[in-house]
Structure 1
Amino acid sequence: MDHIHPDNIPLNHFLALPRPDHGLAAAGTPDTSTLAAHDFDVDTRTGFMPPRPLSRLPQEWASWETALDEARSSRLQLADKPDLSPEDAERSERWRDRVRQLPILSTDHLKRSEVLLRRAHHVLSWIMHFYVHSLPISVSEICIPPPVTVPLLQVSAQLQLPPVLTYSDDVINNWEYITPPTSEFPPRPPALDNLRCQTLFTETRDEEEFYLASARIELRGVEALTLMRAMMDEAFLGDATALRRITTYLHTLAGVIRELTSILADVRKGCDPDVFYNEIRPWFRGADSSDGKRKWVFQGIELDPTLREPTELSGPSAGQSSLIHALDVFLGVDQYSHSNFMSNKPVPMARAQTAPAVLPAPGTSGPATATFSSAPGSSSVPFLTRMQSYMPRHHRAFLRHLSSNPRPIRTLVETSGEKNLLEAYNVAVSALKVFRDEHVKIVALYILVPSKKAREAAGKSKEDSAAKGTGGTDAFQFVKGVRDQTAGALLKSGE
């Protein structure tokens, strides 16, 4: 497939512009620019997905692409695979040795392009996960070699992302057309059945369908973003006509969310739960969600004095979807769904714009040290708020802008006294709650049930092995709690 080379991007396109520090220059000040696509990298056709992700880095970084190609073509196996053969183990070690022998490539020329940086993060984080999860389980400490550590941490610092596989790496920037359009920038959104993945761990249809379910949700959600913008425009007018239009838009938004629910449910058609749990999911676990207690040690970090030890290494999670966060923030549901529900008393948390003040800069934390513990510490930052640090920085700026809206829809509904508007709002919130009902079912089917089977096969009790999500949480309790608190956002007549 052909791909966009950075030199071929039109001069007036967002990605050809200098990379601004959206909303971060003034400490504590949210970005209050317009909701134009070029401000937040939200495409009118593909939403939070790029119109066409880069599929290959230029020749200067070909050795990274080659290493990833070899990992895939070698069909590397998980180190804890029950029937791992000596031949599989030897093949994995030969590949890891080639990775250790790679040169430490400069990232200086990557910094001129957001597109190149995203592809580099994709390639290097996939290489790291292939490396980490193919290491023999007898190895007590996971040492990531300098040829991966140095450029991955440098690229991650530029993108303000953690140096680990994220939702952006396995969904947002991991797709391509089956039948490519005739132009570099197609005029219409891609058809949901015209997608395939660029990179896979297992080369199975199950893995591809798992990622594509999320990709299809992102693309179908473009209409939701359009409706949000229309409602925000009407809210600034605030007259009787505007309220009637917002009422109609909310019903339409509910219909879009119902379609997202159907797409989510359809993951069952292409991805087998046992295959997912045992063969796919272990590959993209981060340090926080790995079952073992082994440290992840980033070797070579001392070669660049600007680098810091990573503290965010949770791995990809559906909680990193900017689209779902945008729905929460726009409807005012985030005050409920993003609360730290795992404590005894759920407490509504600050809105999304407060996240930068609470969270460390992604991928950095304190002075560099030789080693660090990858075990997640206790934190008062709610999981969904923390997951925003795994999103592309422009999308975080979008959420901050959305949450700083001076006329929030929920407040407008509460103060309008319009019964039809309140009912329409509740219809939209209820649709989001049903979406999360489906997510609860998916987590039960794909994580809870297979983990129970695994415990019983190993003769372990329930307490021996919690069913963790890839973000490091107790997966079922997490999605169930978010679902329950979404329902708590419904408004009662007269509120």
Structure 2
Amino acid sequence: MQLVLLSQTEVEFSCLIMEINHENEEKPLLFTLRRFHLSEDYGFLLPDPLMPQLSCQHLKGHRDLQLAHLALSFITMGFVWQEGEKGTVKLLPQNLAVPFWEISQMLGLPPILVHADFVLANWKKKNLTGPLKIENLDTIFSLPGGDSLRGFILVTFLVEKAAAPGVKAVVQAVNAILQPDKEALHEALQELAKAIKEMTDALKQMHDHVDPAIFYAVIRIFLSGWKDNPAMPGGLIYEGISDEPMSYSGGSAAQSTALQAFDELLAIHHSKESTAFLHRMRYYMPPHHRAFIEEIQSASSVKQHILSSRNEKLRVAYNQCVSALVDLRTYHIAIVAKYITIAAANAKARKGKPGYQAGILQINPPSSLEEKGTGGSDILSFLKSVRDTTRDAIIHV
């Protein structure tokens, strides 16, 4: 066994290293409230639970703004209608009102839930590689209404998705007149008629996924606005924006760009009252969607082109589009009758009785929307008028 002898210098160096290591050893932390985010004055309570006012400066691009509008619109509707029609608020708090207003101004949208929020931007796939079927879809944001609200949003999404080939056909039809190309126009009209029929088929899924009682008594009020609404006749004050109340319409199928685009292409002219409402709803659409309708409106008339050409094949194809649109609007009337008119009658029959149960939800139906759509229109008379004027567009021999 050999002994290793260290020089004095090596011994001193080793001792120095040991001292340094000893000094670097972690000292036990003091037991303090601050370590656990606790307060001497408030204990486990959060001393200042209010968030600072949200800033829009960190949002980048249209997509971020659109998703922010989606989030703030759902929060706003939940806040305004959380106590039902009898407990509506008169003021939207500044921390919500100011960023919502600023984002709305940037997007060219009103500060309220619109169709572009509720349906167009409010969906996701459960399985990213799966199909665009309702079983593989979900909403991003929701409100009271459970599976029925989810179904209502997603069936409406599927109607919009079915419209997509028709939107493409609109562009093809306008370009076919400019070229001109009768065969291309005929093909575009056939594609449009097919798309409208598929929209009707998609709408039929509403029966499978939405309970009429829950839609009427629970869901509808959260889609309602504060214009032409007896529950909020004075409108809503957006704190930090204006001391005067403002009035905005709630969500409506009339805010769907697809249907108004089809009307413009086919030169379907509605009554003065219906046209005024439809044109007002255009300001609840994203500006680029509204501009799409205006571009069609300014283009050469498809109907006049067909009339002047006296082409029988084009006349038949045009009429098929109009007939498909009549069928869609007739079916929409049937849906409204089931989910609003009949549901309202059933609710009246229970009037005076304690709120009844539908699933896990306690239902106390609102009375202010019995005959109106959430957009503020007299719903059935409006829909029937629009359906009838659509039928009037048929070109007869």
Smaller-chain TM-score bracket: 0.7 to 0.9
For 1:331 and 1:270, how far apart are their aligned partners in 2? 32
Deviations, residues 38-69 of structure 1 (Å, cap 9, x unaligned)? xxxxxxxxxxxxxxxxxxxxxxxxxxxxxxxx
Does residue 292 in structure 1 map to residue 231 in structure 2? yes
Does residue 194 in structure 1 map to residue 88 in structure 2? no
Does residue 437 in structure 1 map to residue 330 in structure 2? yes
1:178 aligned to which of 114, 118, 126 = 126
Matches within 5 A, 1:73-472: 101-110=50-59, 112-135=60-83, 139=87, 141-181=89-129, 190=132, 193-202=135-144, 204-238=146-180, 242-288=181-227, 290-293=229-232, 295-302=234-241, 311-333=246-268, 335-336=269-270, 339-341=271-273, 382-405=276-299, 407-458=300-351, 466-472=370-376
* Structure-2 change in CA distance of 1:312 and 1:489 (3 Å): farther
Shift of residue 386, structure 1, vs aligned partner: 0.6
One-letter identity of the residue aligned with 2:288: H
1:485 aligned to which of 378, 381, 389 = 389
For 1:199 and 1:320, how far apart are their aligned partners in 2? 19
Secondary structure of the structure 1 residue equivalent to 2:227: helix
Give the CA RMSD over aligned residues.
2.6
- Tell me if the contact between 2:115 and 2:252 (Cα under 8 Å) persists in the aligned partners: yes
Q: Which structure 1 residue ranges, 5 or more long, are not aligned?
A: 1-96, 183-188, 343-348, 350-381
- Tell me if the contact between 1:141 and 1:295 (Cα under 8 Å) persists in the aligned partners: no
* Structure-2 change in CA distance of 1:431 and 1:465 (3 Å): closer
- Tell me if the contact between 1:162 and 1:312 (Cα under 8 Å) persists in the aligned partners: no
Secondary structure of the structure 1 residue equivalent to 2:272: coil
Secondary structure of the structure 1 residue equivalent to 2:251: coil
For 1:270 and 1:201, how far apart are their aligned partners in 2? 16
Decide which structure has the larger Cα Rg and report it: 2
Shift of residue 464, structure 1, vs aligned partner: 8.6
Q: After the TM superposition, which of the residue ranges 422-431 and 202-211 deviates more from structure 2?
A: 202-211
One-letter identity of the residue aligned with 1:483: R
Aligned to 2:7: none
Q: Aligned residue pairs: how many?
A: 336
Shift of residue 434, structure 1, vs aligned partner: 0.5
Shift of residue 290, structure 1, vs aligned partner: 4.0
- Tell me if the contact between 1:144 and 1:296 (Cα under 8 Å) persists in the aligned partners: no
Shift of residue 260, structure 1, vs aligned partner: 0.7
- Tell me if the contact between 2:193 and 2:324 (Cα under 8 Å) persists in the aligned partners: yes
For 1:221 and 1:392, how far apart are their aligned partners in 2? 17
- Tell me if the contact between 2:85 and 2:368 (Cα under 8 Å) persists in the aligned partners: no
For 1:136 and 1:442, how far apart are their aligned partners in 2? 24
Deviations, residues 4-45 of structure 1 (Å, cap 9, x unaligned)? xxxxxxxxxxxxxxxxxxxxxxxxxxxxxxxxxxxxxxxxxx
For 1:102 and 1:200, how far apart are their aligned partners in 2? 22
TM-score by length of 1: 0.63
- Tell me if the contact between 1:466 and 1:474 (Cα under 8 Å) persists in the aligned partners: no
- Tell me if the contact between 1:319 and 1:387 (Cα under 8 Å) persists in the aligned partners: yes
* Structure-2 change in CA distance of 1:248 and 1:455 (3 Å): same
Shift of residue 122, structure 1, vs aligned partner: 1.0
One-letter identity of the residue aligned with 1:469: G
* Structure-2 change in CA distance of 1:208 and 1:139 (3 Å): closer
Secondary structure of the structure 2 residue equivalent to 1:458: coil
Q: Which structure 2 residue ranges, 5 or more long, are not aligned?
A: 1-47, 353-366
Shift of residue 121, structure 1, vs aligned partner: 0.9
* Structure-2 change in CA distance of 1:464 and 1:264 (3 Å): closer
Shift of residue 275, structure 1, vs aligned partner: 1.1
TM-score by length of 2: 0.78
- Tell me if the contact between 2:238 and 2:246 (Cα under 8 Å) persists in the aligned partners: no
* Structure-2 change in CA distance of 1:429 and 1:273 (3 Å): same
Shift of residue 163, structure 1, vs aligned partner: 0.6
One-letter identity of the residue aligned with 2:201: S
- Tell me if the contact between 1:234 and 1:246 (Cα under 8 Å) persists in the aligned partners: yes
For 1:438 and 1:139, how far apart are their aligned partners in 2? 35
